[in-house]
Homo-oligomer: A and B are copies of this chain.
């Protein structure tokens, strides 16, 4: 259920509605919009008495949300969610394009700084790098952990990049939340509901990757798990799904972009690196993602991919990244977008 407030409802009236809902044993989710605020109601104990709510001051109407996802739905919040990062012009959602780049894993301070410097110069606003790695084999490199987080914190200081890194469980979540700007939840954990709920209790943006066999509805329900705990800054990320198709590591399902945008206000990024698994497919699919309406991309970059500890074959070279940024900057206006100003300056700076 959704309580739509009148356009001129006061903050006190909104608060009174929330209090009323909480007293009934439900959870209230105030969602400010450009025109007016709406208050989502969640809780599984059944239906709220609509009459009492509609009688409260400042309430315009109470409506039922028919979709299984509520807070993630456009029914509840019509305008696109835009996530801003204080002190930067980096933004995810809205008219800007977000570019998150970096190595699969943080392997060393030197490796990380080299790549960070190059992607910053080419215009990335976000740096990604694995500290805790979900590896298919228990015997494979599992990440540098806290050491990697410290390296990335230095990178934020040095290059002004916001940091995105993955949390695997409650322990790593706590640390990632402390050190990073965006918490990534990986495809294999998309239905790790305990982890989703814990991430929902934090107040940091969460980048949620689509599970390898998740439907659109399951994807949004996973976002809903996070949002139902009060963290509304969820960023969706398409990274390819499992199919019979064997020319790529996964099948990048770009048509989920418009499908998600029809029903949800959450931003949607695309990861062409995991989505294809092949270096020479990354650039075409990055362009395709932006042309298809994505809010940005997540891409693996490595200066020595042949020596990378993980995912070398899908990492692009810094030079390819710069050329990709150039292409994306040219496609952006066709879809009513632009790369942030700061970045275009950086591109010029990077060339010098």
Contact = CB atoms under 8 A, between A and B. Distances in A.
Contacts of A331: 291, 331, 334
A216 interface: yes
A47 to B, nearest CB: 12
Interface in A262-319: 262, 275-276, 278, 280-281, 284-285, 287-293
A175 to B, nearest CB: 13
Interface residues of A, number: 75
Interface stretch (A88-96, A239-247, A338-346): A239-247
Protomer copies: 4
Nearest to A228: B138
Contacts of A172: 194
Interface stretch (A2-10, A15-23, A252-260): A252-260
B262 A256 contact: no
Nearest to A140: B44
A330 interface: yes
Contacts of A255: 247-248, 251-252, 275-276, 281, 284-285
A288 to B, nearest CB: 4
Interface string A205-236: 00000001101111001001100100000000
19 contacts: A42-B138, A42-B139, A134-B191, A134-B193, A136-B191, A189-B191, A213-B213, A216-B245, A241-B243, A241-B245, A243-B244, A247-B256, A248-B259, A255-B275, A255-B276, A258-B278, A287-B293, A287-B334, A288-B292
Given A251-B253, A284-B292, A288-B292, 4 more contacts: A138-B228, A188-B192, A215-B247, A284-B291
Interface of A: 42-44, 68, 70, 134-141, 168-172, 188-189, 191-195, 197, 212-213, 215-218, 221, 224-225, 228, 241-248, 251-260, 262, 275-276, 278, 280-281, 284-285, 287-293, 327, 330-331, 333-335
